[in-house]
Amino acid sequence: MTTGTRTEDQTRAEVRRAARALLREPLLRGGGRTADDFRLVRQHARELREWFDRNTGWGLHVDSETARLRKTPGAPDDATHPARETGGARLPFTRRRYVLLCLALAVLERSENQIALGRLAEQVVLEAADPALAEAGISFTLEERSERGDLVAVVRLLTRLGVIALVAGDDEDYLRSTGDALYDVRRRVLAGLLAGGVGPSTVAAGTDGDRLAALTADPVLESMDSADLRNRRLRHTLTRRLIDDPVLYYGTLTEEESAYLASQRTAITSRITELTGLVAEARAEGIAMVDPDDDLTDVRMPEKGTHGHVTLLLAEYLASGPPRPVPRAELEEQVRGFARQYGGHWSKTAKEPGAEAELVHRAVEKLEALALVRTATEADGTRSVRALPALARFAVGAAVVRGGSATDPTDEQEPRR
Amino acid sequence: MSADRAPSAAPESASGSASVDYQPFAHLTAPNAELYRAIMGVFVAEKERFTVHLRPEDVHRLLPADPGVDADDTVKALDRLAEWGNLRPDPDTGRVTAVEDFYRRRYIYQLTRAGEAAEEALAAYDSGLGRRGSLQSVALADIAARLRELLAWADPASDAAEPDPALVHRALRDLAGRFGELADNARAFMGSLQRTIDLHDAEVEAFLAYKDRLIDYLERFIADLITTGSEIARLLSDLERTGPSGARAVDPLLTAAADREAADTLPGEEQGADDAARAAALAEWHRRWDGLRGWFLSAPDHEPQAKLLRSAARSAIPQLLAVVAALNERRSGRSDRSADFRVLARWFAEAPDDASRHRLWRSAFGLHPARHLTVDSETLQAREDEPETATTPWDRARPVHISPQLRRTGQYERRGRPRKVADRSAERRRLAEHARKQAEETAAARARLDTGGRIRLSDVAELDPAAFGLFLGLLGDALAHWAYDSRETSTTSNDGGLRIRMRALGDGATAEIATPDGVFRGPDHIVEITDLEGRAATP
């Protein structure tokens, strides 16, 4: 009896780890870095598949080499998840890189099981001769070093995703035009790369927003209409947003979604808690599924280090006043003040004059990614930052250090405002 | 253009100066270049029919139909060309039948040498540029046929005693000519093939129409190159074979051809000029022969050209097919993953800004990690103790706990502190020391218990606490194993370190063992205790 319970607990813990691994990295491979996670997912594939299918409508595909959770976002209007280069400054992809990435994938899809970077480049140039691309003002010759640099960035991302694997040579050599590199093409990974159930080539929509909507649509659910299916669609959308995004503000929901969430909130959040260990932080303005284990995220807050510190200090500053658009210049001024006060703990480059703009930029980017602030360009052209309700989590609390009565809630609220 | 300019501008001097300043090419860049070229084309075509002089009206009649050119324009153009030195005007002495014709300036025109050379150069230029390149299986067959002919003459066993030098010369010249064409064409072919495959500004329809024939053609050529090519290679090796005199079979033929060529040259004034000409001709033939051999036979330091050509032609086919597939897919709009990626590429290109591209990336690929705010256990605990309702606004709820340390320095722990927690080496050392000492004590106790043979229990007399503890355990084991009606027993201690044999004496004697804690009494026995580990360790 006791051993039975322990196994059940163990299974529960393993399923949780597997689910978290998939949410963190929706494409896991049987070899290398993700091998352990893959094994867990494979072991509990049935349970996970059922859960995701029922609650989010995301397909989980598991074969002998890959596990892929086809995550489509609940809210497609979030621009804070760019593809990033794998090394260096991890800059977001540019227009050319995105286009190159897709062309490279189109080529790989048709290629043999191995491909040399030089050959890939040739074929990409051929693909890029498509008049539609030329019309959009894109052309590639891959003769300039900067263009080859873009291709190498793409190839590195593909390598990290596991679509291709280096066999011989070095992409640096290709970059310098002194050599070439050879790659294996992993068909299974490639096959699972697109997330949506709708192939982009079947979408006729001409505008940006329609295209996104078409990509994230569920053709099966859309095609039928019944109260049951409508509820299912609502559940999927809401669960997707809760399980994937930091904060779900009620203000962003449709009337239908609000009504459904109001009646199903506890059911939905507790199912998520059971699967992932995330805890619901339900407030008047919205819900955040917060993570006690602090590893189910790509953006951390609070975080140690200079940038983390600046972000925290700015968050406290923004949370301290009544909500208003705060110009970036004001934040930069604040950072100059912080530098005087805390600079001793900061990295050297952060203390150099003129570093404020970059510090503010990184901090705001982070806060925006966590749905804690919103940036906008005001009518007069200044760029400003506006606090969102959940930012208040990071307001300076009661005098935890100096005062003794930190546990008294009345004591705690007064000095903040 | 001036009509009054002396048309008799010395033709010879015009052509003479043209050879220096390339005047005969001037018409190419002049306005009306097309007309000039058309007129020159008429002269070249007529020359092939051995017509030397042309009247302006003939030229006008022979020009390709063009309503924009009247007779006067033609005359003016002819004069310009005469000025540049391409044509030579001569007074027309023929009869006329109308008065006005008599008063009109009358000339007839013919090509100058400079004009003719310019036309030849332009023809070569055009054909060089326009050449798409073709591979000639026919040329291969011709080459093989000529080689067979040569081999027949070279064969000493053949009954034809001495080959006719004229025939040999002609065969070799033909061979060299065909081969030269083949090599030129191959070179042009490789170039044009690459242009076709690159297809940067694809003339899609033309390409698709062309590709089947091209692939067909390539396959046929590869087949021919393999069969005929190997025959040629065999013939070449036969002709290369050295005879009893040490000379190659082909050498006399080359010499014969060179002799005949040398005979054609003008006789020189000096003695030995003939020999020099012969040697030069022979060297030339040797070079051509080497070229031919290099094409079809491999040498240690290079692959035969034919083989390179074959592999180029062969690898061209899959490349062509790839282009065809790409074009077809692009046109057909078929939905597969490759098409999906192509459409996405276009969407990314057309998206208005970076933000929409990032959104597209996330929606289409869904490779983004989940993103969540964190909560620490202290905050969680506080919430459990004093729950906040779901209607509490965020700014009325307790904020998350943030360590004052982090808030002040941006670091979680004071520097250097974590080491203190991690270091347990002292404890580990102490434990290890303890374990080692215990093991030593046990070993010593065992050694003391070892009786070294059978003794009476009463002879043991005295034991220290450690040894006595062991002895009690051993005795317990032995008694536990004692069968009901047996007089003796034998057992090994639980840890396998000691063996004991006991036999009851039954004489009523009592054994006493003294220990520091008291005296152990019991019926006397014969015992033999062996320290198995100690014995195993010492020998």
At residue B8, the pLDDT reads: 42
B chain contacts of residue A161, beta-carbon cutoff 8 Å: 367
Could A281 and B375 be called an inter-chain contact, meaning their C-beta atoms sit closer than 8 Å? Answer: yes
A95-191 and A305-394 share one fold: yes
Helix (H, G, I), strand (E, B) or coil at A400: coil
- When pLDDT is cut at 50, 70 and 90, the band that residue B206 belongs to is low
Element containing residue A13 per DSSP (H, E): helix A2-24
Q: Is A283 left (phi over 0), alpha (psi -120 to 50) or beta?
A: beta
Kindly report the nearest CA distance between residue B321 and chain A, in angstroms.
Answer: 12
Per the prediction, chain A carries an average pLDDT of 87
The C-alpha atoms of residue A366 and residue A308 are separated, in whole angstroms, by 9
Q: What is the mean pLDDT of residues A136-161?
A: 90
Q: Which CATH number fits domain A95-191: 1.10.3470, 1.10.132, 1.20.950, 1.10.10?
A: 1.10.10
Q: Which residue has the higher pLDDT, A360 or B285?
A: A360
Cβ neighbourhood burial of B531 (10 Å; 0-12, 13-18, 19+)? buried
Could B348 and A95 be called an inter-chain contact, meaning their C-beta atoms sit closer than 8 Å? Answer: yes
Closest-approach residue (CA) in chain B for A240 = B370
Closest-approach residue (CA) in chain B for A106 = B338
Give per-residue burial for B326-361: e unless 16+ CB within 10 Å, then b.
bbebbeeeeeebbbbbbbbbbbbbbbeeeebbbbbb
Q: What percent of chain A has pLDDT over 90?
A: 53
Closest-approach residue (CA) in chain B for A395 = B399
Could A290 and B375 be called an inter-chain contact, meaning their C-beta atoms sit closer than 8 Å? Answer: yes
In this predicted model, what pLDDT tens digit does every residue of B225-273 receive, in sequence order? 788 888 888 888 888 887 777 778 788 888 888 888 777 665 555 566 6
Judge contact between B179 and B147, C-beta under 8 A: no
Of the listed ranges A129-133, A157-161, B28-32, B301-305, the one predicted with least confidence: B301-305
**How many Cβ atoms sit within 10 Å of the Cβ of residue A109?**
19
A chain contacts of residue B391, beta-carbon cutoff 8 Å: 284
The C-alpha atoms of residue A369 and residue A388 are separated, in whole angstroms, by 12
Residue of A81, A107, A242, A314 to mutate for B, most B C-beta atoms under 10 A: A81
Please report, for chain A, the start and end positions of each structural domain, with discontinuous segments joined by +.
Answer: 3-70, 95-191, 217-290, 305-394
At residue A239, the pLDDT reads: 96
What are the residues facing B503 on neighbouring strands? B488, B526
Give per-residue burial for A298-321: e unless 16+ CB within 10 Å, then b.
ebbbbbbebbbbbbbbbbbbbbee
Helix (H, G, I), strand (E, B) or coil at A308: helix
Q: Which residue has the higher pLDDT, B436 or A96?
A: A96
Give me the interface pTM, i.e. the ipTM: 0.91
B408 CB within 8 Å of a chain A CB:
yes
Per the prediction, chain B carries an average pLDDT of 76
A chain contacts of residue B377, beta-carbon cutoff 8 Å: 292
Report whether pLDDT(A80) > 70: yes
Could A76 and B392 be called an inter-chain contact, meaning their C-beta atoms sit closer than 8 Å? Answer: no
Q: Which residue has the higher pLDDT, B513 or B100?
A: B513
At residue A177, the pLDDT reads: 85
Judge contact between A357 and A284, C-beta under 8 A: no
Could A345 and B393 be called an inter-chain contact, meaning their C-beta atoms sit closer than 8 Å? Answer: no
Cβ neighbourhood burial of A164 (10 Å; 0-12, 13-18, 19+)? buried
- When pLDDT is cut at 50, 70 and 90, the band that residue B158 belongs to is low
Which residue matches tokens 């013919």?
A: B110
Q: How far is CA A188 from the centre of its chain?
A: 23
Q: Which residue has the higher pLDDT, B17 or B25?
A: B25
Phi–psi pair at B452, nearest 5 degrees: 65, 25
Q: What is the mean pLDDT of residues A264-288?
A: 95
Question: Which sign does the torsion angle of CA A197, A31, B372, A266 carry?
Answer: positive
Report whether pLDDT(B281) > 50: yes
Kindly report the nearest CA distance between residue B128 and chain A, in angstroms.
Answer: 27
* Nearest in space to A292 (alpha carbons), one of B417, B375, B278: B375
The C-alpha atoms of residue B229 and residue A91 are separated, in whole angstroms, by 57
At residue A96, the pLDDT reads: 94
In this predicted model, what pLDDT tens digit does every residue of A22-56 receive, in sequence order? 999 999 998 888 999 999 999 999 999 999 999 99
- When pLDDT is cut at 50, 70 and 90, the band that residue B209 belongs to is low
What are the residues facing B242 on neighbouring strands? B248
Q: What is the number of CB-based contacts under 8 A between chain A and chain B?
A: 296
Kindly report the nearest CA distance between residue A270 and chain B, in angstroms.
Answer: 14
Of the listed ranges A159-163, A239-243, A406-410, the one predicted with least confidence: A406-410
Closest partner residue to A99 (CB to CB) among B345, B380, B409 is: B345
Report whether pLDDT(B156) > 70: no
The C-alpha atoms of residue B411 and residue A339 are separated, in whole angstroms, by 15
B204 CB within 8 Å of a chain A CB:
no
A365 CB within 8 Å of a chain B CB:
no
Report whether pLDDT(A279) > 90: yes
Report pTM: 0.58
At residue A403, the pLDDT reads: 37
B404 CB within 8 Å of a chain A CB:
yes
- When pLDDT is cut at 50, 70 and 90, the band that residue A408 belongs to is very low
The conformation of residue A201, written as its DSSP 8-state character, comes to G
Q: How many CA atoms lie within 13 A of A343 on its CB side?
A: 16
Q: Which residue has the higher pLDDT, A286 or A204?
A: A286
* Nearest in space to A21 (alpha carbons), one of A2, A1, A43, A53: A43
**Pairing of β B525-531 and β B498-504:** antiparallel
* Nearest in space to B240 (alpha carbons), one of B300, B293, B283: B293
The C-alpha atoms of residue B168 and residue B285 are separated, in whole angstroms, by 12
The C-alpha atoms of residue B473 and residue B479 are separated, in whole angstroms, by 10
Q: What is the mean pLDDT of residues A396-404?
A: 47
In chain B, residues 381-400 whose CB comes closer than 8 Å to chain A: 382, 386, 390-400
Element containing residue B491 per DSSP (H, E): strand B488-492
In this predicted model, what pLDDT tens digit does every residue of B355-410 receive, in sequence order? 999 999 999 999 999 999 999 888 888 888 888 888 999 988 888 888 888 888 88
Closest-approach residue (CA) in chain A for B353 = A95
Residue of B204, B321, B368 to mutate for A, most A C-beta atoms under 10 A: B368
In this predicted model, what pLDDT tens digit does every residue of B510-527 receive, in sequence order? 888 887 778 888 788 888
A chain contacts of residue B342, beta-carbon cutoff 8 Å: 102-103, 106, 127, 130, 201
The C-alpha atoms of residue A299 and residue A366 are separated, in whole angstroms, by 7
At residue B267, the pLDDT reads: 59
The C-alpha atoms of residue A63 and residue A100 are separated, in whole angstroms, by 28
Could B395 and A395 be called an inter-chain contact, meaning their C-beta atoms sit closer than 8 Å? Answer: yes
- When pLDDT is cut at 50, 70 and 90, the band that residue B439 belongs to is confident
The C-alpha atoms of residue B375 and residue B398 are separated, in whole angstroms, by 12
Could A130 and B346 be called an inter-chain contact, meaning their C-beta atoms sit closer than 8 Å? Answer: yes
Report whether pLDDT(A240) > 50: yes
A329 CB within 8 Å of a chain B CB:
no
What are the residues facing A115 on neighbouring strands? A183
At residue B6, the pLDDT reads: 40
In this predicted model, what pLDDT tens digit does every residue of A345-375 receive, in sequence order? 888 888 888 888 999 999 999 999 999 999 9
B chain contacts of residue A119, beta-carbon cutoff 8 Å: none
Cβ neighbourhood burial of B487 (10 Å; 0-12, 13-18, 19+)? exposed
Could B393 and A389 be called an inter-chain contact, meaning their C-beta atoms sit closer than 8 Å? Answer: yes
Report whether pLDDT(A17) > 60: yes
At residue A210, the pLDDT reads: 83
Task: Give the CATH number of domain A305-394.
Answer: 1.10.10.10
Report whether pLDDT(A253) > 90: yes
At residue A183, the pLDDT reads: 92
The conformation of residue B508, written as its DSSP 8-state character, comes to -
In this predicted model, what pLDDT tens digit does every residue of B479-500 receive, in sequence order? 777 777 777 788 877 677 788 8
Q: What percent of chain B has pLDDT over 90?
A: 6
Kindly report the nearest CA distance between residue B204 and chain A, in angstroms.
Answer: 11
**Pairing of β A326-327 and β A383-387:** antiparallel
The C-alpha atoms of residue B533 and residue B128 are separated, in whole angstroms, by 99
Q: Is the peptide bond before B352 cis (omega within 30 degrees of 0)?
A: no
Report whether pLDDT(A262) > 90: yes
The C-alpha atoms of residue B324 and residue B36 are separated, in whole angstroms, by 42
A205 CB within 8 Å of a chain B CB:
no
Residue of A208, A247, A293 to mutate for B, most B C-beta atoms under 10 A: A208
**Pairing of β A279-282 and β A66-69:** unpaired
The conformation of residue B115, written as its DSSP 8-state character, comes to H
A118 CB within 8 Å of a chain B CB:
no
Q: What is the mean pLDDT of residues B408-430?
A: 65
Q: Which residue has the higher pLDDT, B80 or B69?
A: B80
Could B359 and A409 be called an inter-chain contact, meaning their C-beta atoms sit closer than 8 Å? Answer: no
Report whether pLDDT(A416) > 80: no
Phi–psi pair at A322, nearest 5 degrees: -65, 150
Kindly report the nearest CA distance between residue B196 and chain A, in angstroms.
Answer: 12
